[in-house]
Amino acid sequence: MKILVCGNISEQGLRILEDAGEIEVDRKPELNQEQLLAIIANYDAVIVRSETKITSSVIAAAEKLKLIGRAGSGVDNIDVKAATQRGIVVMNTPGGNTVTTAEHTMALLLSIARNVPQATASVKAGKWEKKKFQGVELFNKTLGIIGLGKIGSVVASRAQGFGMRVIAYDPFLTREAAAKMNIELVSLDDLYSRSDFITIHTPLTAETKGMIGKDAFEKMKKGVRIINCARGGLVDEAALYDAIQSGKVAAAALDVFAQEPVPTDHPLLKLDQVVCTPHLGASTEEAQINVAVAIAEQFVDFFKKGTIRGAVNAPTIGADLLEQLRPYLELGEKLGLFLAQTLDKNLRRVKIEYSGTVTEYDIKPVTQSILAGLFSQMSDRVNFVNAGIIAQERGIDVSESLSRRAVDFASLIEVSVEGSNSVSTVAGTVFGKNDIRIVKINDFHLEAIPKGHMLLCSNRDVPGVLGRLATLLGDNGINIGRLYLGRKEIGGAALVLCEIDTPVTDEIVAKLAALPDILSARKIYLG
DSSP labels, 476-512: TTPPEEEEEEEESSTTSEEEEEEEESS---HHHHHHH
Cα–Cα distance for residue pair 312/292, rounded to 1 Å: 17
Tell me the one-letter amino acid at 221. K
- Catalogue the long-range contacts made by 289-292 (C-beta closer than 8 Å, 24 or more residues apart): 289/10, 289/12, 289/13, 290/93, 290/96, 290/97, 291/10, 291/13, 291/71, 291/72, 291/93, 291/96, 291/97, 292/9, 292/10, 292/12, 292/13, 292/14, 292/71
In 3-state terms, what secondary structure has residue 289?
helix
End-to-end CA distance of the chain: 34
* 3-class DSSP state of 274: strand
Q: Which ranges of 341-378 would DSSP assign to H, the alpha helix?
A: 364-374
Residue 104 among the catalytic residues: no
User: What's the confidence (pLDDT) of residue 316?
Assistant: 59
Q: Is 492 exposed, middle or buried (0-12, 13-18, 19+ CB in 10 A)?
A: exposed
* Angle formed at CA 88 by CA 87 and CA 92, multiple of 5 degrees: 140
Q: Which of 279, 381, 437, 487 is catalytic?
A: 279
Residues sharing a CB contact under 8 Å with residue 249, sequence separation 6 or more, in sequence order:
217, 220, 223, 224, 225, 226, 240, 243, 273
- Position 385 scores a pLDDT of 55
Phi, psi of 256 (to 5 degrees): -135, 150
How do strand 493-500 and strand 453-460 relate by DSSP bridges? antiparallel
Residue 231 designated active-site? yes
Whole-angstrom Cα distance, residue 225 to residue 248? 9
Q: What is the pLDDT of residue 380?
A: 58
The domains of the chain, with CATH numbers, are 1-95+282-314 (3.40.50.720), 98-276 (3.40.50.720), 317-442 (3.30.1330.90), 453-527 (3.30.70.260)
Instruction: Please count the other Cβ atoms lying within 10 Å of the Cβ belonging to residue 275.
Output: 22
Q: Which of 158, 225, 231, 394 is catalytic?
A: 231
Residue 103 designated active-site: no
Residue 405 phi, psi (nearest 5): -80, 120
* Residues near 42 by beta carbon (within 8 Å), at least 6 away in sequence: 2, 4, 64
Confidence (pLDDT) at 479: 95
What is the reported pLDDT for 384?
65
pLDDT < 70: residue spans in the chain: 306, 315-322, 344-345, 379-381, 383-386
Round to whole Å and give the CA distance between 212 and 200.
9
Single-letter code of the amino acid located at 208:
T
Angle at 200 between CA 197 and CA 206, to 5 degrees: 140
For residue 26, give the 3-state DSSP assignment. strand
Residue 510, Cβ neighbours under 10 Å: how many?
10
Q: Which of 11, 30, 63, 260 is catalytic?
A: 260
277 backbone dihedrals φ, ψ, rounded to 5°: -135, 155
State residue 407's pLDDT score: 79
Query: Which pLDDT does position 62 carry in this prediction?
Result: 94
